[in-house]
Amino acid sequence: MVKIGVIAIQGDVSEHVQSIGRAMDILGIEGSVITVKRVRDVENLNGVLIPGGESTTITRIMNKSGLTEKIRKMYAEESIAIMGTCAGCVILAKEVEGGEVRGLELMNMKVMRNAFGRQKESFETLVDVKGLEEPYPAVFIRAPIIEKVWDDCEVVAKLGDKIVGARQDALLALSFHPELTEDHRIYKLFFDML
């Protein structure tokens, strides 16, 4: 049984919970999806998803609640998989341009927050993602850009010359919002890391 936790501080939490549940059904994966607000909620998880929202706010609350340290420890000791979308991508990065607060800092990458502009400049486009046969319909909302990756962190998605997806071991960071599409292939990539 797979158990996935979605950090429920801010962002499209219910959309991720529903999308993960649908993806599990489609793929025939037995398991459950829960929301995570406290440290005790992350016990016995196989994977954690950090949704979009405002990265500074999410990080501050995760730090204050002890979630940041608990998730770091679980990743180091239990090799749980972690996927971050939009703000979650920022929280996973070791370096953040203009970042005020330290997040999980697990991925060897540098991220620029809100690189695609304001809310009104949001858009959807097809993106080639490593591991997917067909382009993915990616939704970008005040999205970050991954400026560079190093060591064992690899680029898995680009939009033109901009990096919008990276993977390192069981960590997946995406600039876009897979929960806002009906395409569940990104979640399969996440499940494959469990």
At residue 101, the pLDDT reads 78
Strands 171-174 vs 162-168: parallel, antiparallel or unpaired: antiparallel
43 given a catalytic annotation: no
Distance CA 171, CA 80 (A): 9
The CATH number of the domain where 117 resides is what? 3.40.50.880
Cβ neighbours of residue 67 closer than 8 Å, sequence gap 6 or more: 7, 36, 38, 39, 42, 61
**Which one-letter DSSP state was computed for residue 190?**
H
- Per-residue pLDDT tens over the stretch 75-114: 999 989 999 999 999 999 999 997 777 899 999 999 999 8
- Per-residue pLDDT tens over the stretch 13-56: 999 999 999 999 999 999 999 999 999 999 999 999 999 999 99
Reading the block at residue 171, the tokens are 């960590």
Among 119, 90, 78, 76, which Cα is nearest to 7's?
90
Number of domains in the chain: 1
Residue numbers of the domain that contains 172? 2-192
Q: Considering the entire predicted model, what is its pTM? A: 0.96
89 given a catalytic annotation: no
179 given a catalytic annotation: yes
